[in-house]
A and B are shown apart, each in its own frame.
Chain A
Amino acid sequence: MALTNDYIRQRLAEKFGEQVTGFTEPYGMLTFEVPKEMNLKTLQFLFDDEELQFRFLTDLQAVHYPDDKGRELAVVYHLHSFTNNVRLRFKIFTSIETPDVFTATQLYACANWMERETYDFFGVNFIGHPNLKRILNVDEMDYFPMRKEYPMEDQTRVDKDDEMFGRGGTF
């Protein structure tokens, strides 16, 4: 029997009850949210379960929502079950003041650099990571450049009028 999104949802509800929320299916991929303390439990459950077998971490990254107070940073996991050929995505939200999230490196070796990249660009502090330091940016950098408060272009420049390039205002 092919594994359906409804069935995965049902299994998660059985296991974690009310803690798993926000089920949606954008473009066919099951998406849900778990509390940030639960990320490892969720990963482990999806990994170990004999029917689900989500054992491939496709991707891990963060998103910054500056207007969402108390849950500014989202860490997004993309998982793939090769045996069932089903993908899913789940998110955890954390506040930007204490961006502490448990590391997935114990379960997935590939999470090492993905988490370093996420730390490098968003400042998500992965607790228990063996080597959490910058990876793509220079070590001396003292801010997290993918956060929305950092504009892409140098704000001190006066020789360019952004309005003329369709880049001013609300864009």
Chain B
Amino acid sequence: MTEEILQHTREHNIKLPDGSIEKQTTTLNLGPTHPATHGVFQNILEVDGERIVSAEPTVGYIHRAFEKIAERRPLYQITPLTDRLNYCSAPINNMGWHMTCEKLLGVQTPKRVDYLRVIIMELSRITDHVICNSVIGVDTGALSVFLYVMQYRELVYEIYEEICGSRLTTNIGRIGGFERNFNATAWQKLEKFLKEFPDALREFENLLQRNRIFVDRTVGAGPISAERALNYGFTGPNLRATGVDYDVRVHTPYCSYQDFEFNVPVGTTGDVYDRWLVRNQEMWESLSIIRQAYQKIQEFKGEEAEVYHANVPEYYLPPKQDVYTKMEALIWHFKIIMGETEIPTGEVWHSVEGGNGELGFYLISDGGRSPYRLHFRRPCFIYYQAYPEMVKNAMLADAVVVMSSLNLIAGEMDA
């Protein structure tokens, strides 16, 4: 995008005769079910020729009242609701929710559980970024890169399958740890992923990073300054692309992230290209974190090497086969399901670095079985407000690229 195109000519493209009651701009509905919006978003655009004069986003098409539902559910039943927020990285949401509950209940997780969680969270960060970045490729006209990397997301989903049995909406883990230990197949699949994915990622970069068409379409599209981004509540890769090195994993470490060495990539201009670059670099960092975690896990010896949950029978759901065969497990199972365990009162704020920003949980407990109030800080709901400002005076084709580069997930936005 060159400078002279960005300069808005004051003259309108539509010339109306004097006294006409028609307007000089065209109203265009982009969405709610447009193939280029990747989700249920509606944008009412005022366009002058191909230039956008104003945009008005409408959200809420798939609002499912999770916060209300959560007020009637015990803590462990809220995990499946969090799956459906950012479904491109559901395990991060699940883990964030477990950690919020653990903070409220005062549960300390063993180191090995933390490292297993880190592996899962970083894998899902990779899948999240892979989708977002390859979709930017699709929206600029390169479908093949999307298909190349999609098979590696499949590998990650197979790892999830080994651990929790499901793929997209994972419901992975429990309060206190995991439902089962990683089996040998899961580790093999992880090794396979760590071996094969870097080559694919390098290839992916080669196809786009210096691609003339891609660079022309993305450099200078939808930029935002660091100051505006902070004022608009940006977090995650979108904020880092503007040059602010805010990462929840570093600023308020959770789940033993302080044990890992990694860089926080930042951009400069906050345009689509920088957001793409930041995400790409984050995938390399995630790979490095996974390797470190894998290394650390192999160093555990003896009994420690088999730990996959904290020893908190009053909150951790026992394995089902034990419920059928052991008295104690049956008692705890019954108590947890019927809501007879003690839940402390209090209010907890916990946030994790989600795929697209700071995912926060604000939980108020009055000692009852379900939360008194639960609020999700959904990052993309907050930063999507900046969209009209970012596409103002841009071309219509940029509106689509800017939208996909923001990593907007309708499920998260509408909660």
Contacts and interface: CB of A to CB of B under 8 A. Distances in A.
Contact of B347 (A31, A85, A152): A31
A146 B68 contact: yes
Interface string B333-364: 00000110000001111010000001010101
Given A82-B246, A110-B382, A135-B59, A59 B348 contact: no
Interface string A98-139: 000000000011101110010001000000000000111100
Contacts of B230: 55-56, 82
Contacts of A27: 103-104, 346-349
A137 B233 contact: no
B209 to A, nearest CB: 30
A113 B65 contact: no
B231 A108 contact: yes
Contacts of B351: 58
Contacts of B358: 58
B179 to A, nearest CB: 22
Contact of B385 (A61, A64, A109, A146): A109
Interface in A29-87: 29, 31, 55-59, 61, 63-64, 76, 78, 82, 85, 87
Contacts of B384: 113
Interface stretch (B44-52, B87-95, B260-268, B368-376): B368-376
B198 interface: no
Contacts of B382: 110, 113-114
Interface string B277-290: 00000000000000
A72 B297 CA distance: 50
A109 B370 contact: no
Contacts of B162: none
Given A26-B346, A137-B63, A145-B68, A78 B228 contact: no
For the complex, would chain B's binding face be called helix, strand, loop or mixed by DSSP majority? mixed
A85 B251 contact: yes
A121 B246 CA distance: 30
A166 interface: yes
Contact of A171 (B63, B362, B368, B375): B368
Contacts of B69: 152
B71 interface: yes
A76 B339 contact: no
B72 interface: yes
A9 interface: no
Contacts of A76: 362
B167 interface: no
Given A109-B232, A171-B339, A59 B60 contact: no
Contacts of B339: 166, 171
A112 B387 CA distance: 13
A108 B233 contact: yes
A84 to B, nearest CB: 11
A145 B64 CA distance: 12
B415 interface: yes
Given A76-B362, A78-B377, 5 more contacts: A27-B349, A109-B233, A110-B233, A137-B60, A152-B68
18 contacts: A27-B104, A58-B233, A59-B362, A63-B373, A78-B349, A78-B377, A82-B244, A85-B251, A109-B233, A110-B233, A117-B381, A136-B59, A136-B60, A145-B65, A146-B67, A152-B71, A167-B72, A171-B339
Interface of A: 26-27, 29, 31, 55-59, 61, 63-64, 76, 78, 82, 85, 87, 89, 108-110, 112-114, 117, 121, 134-137, 145-146, 152, 166-167, 171
Q: Which 6 interchain pairs have the tightest Cβ spacing?
A: A110-B233, A136-B60, A136-B63, A61-B375, A59-B377, A109-B231
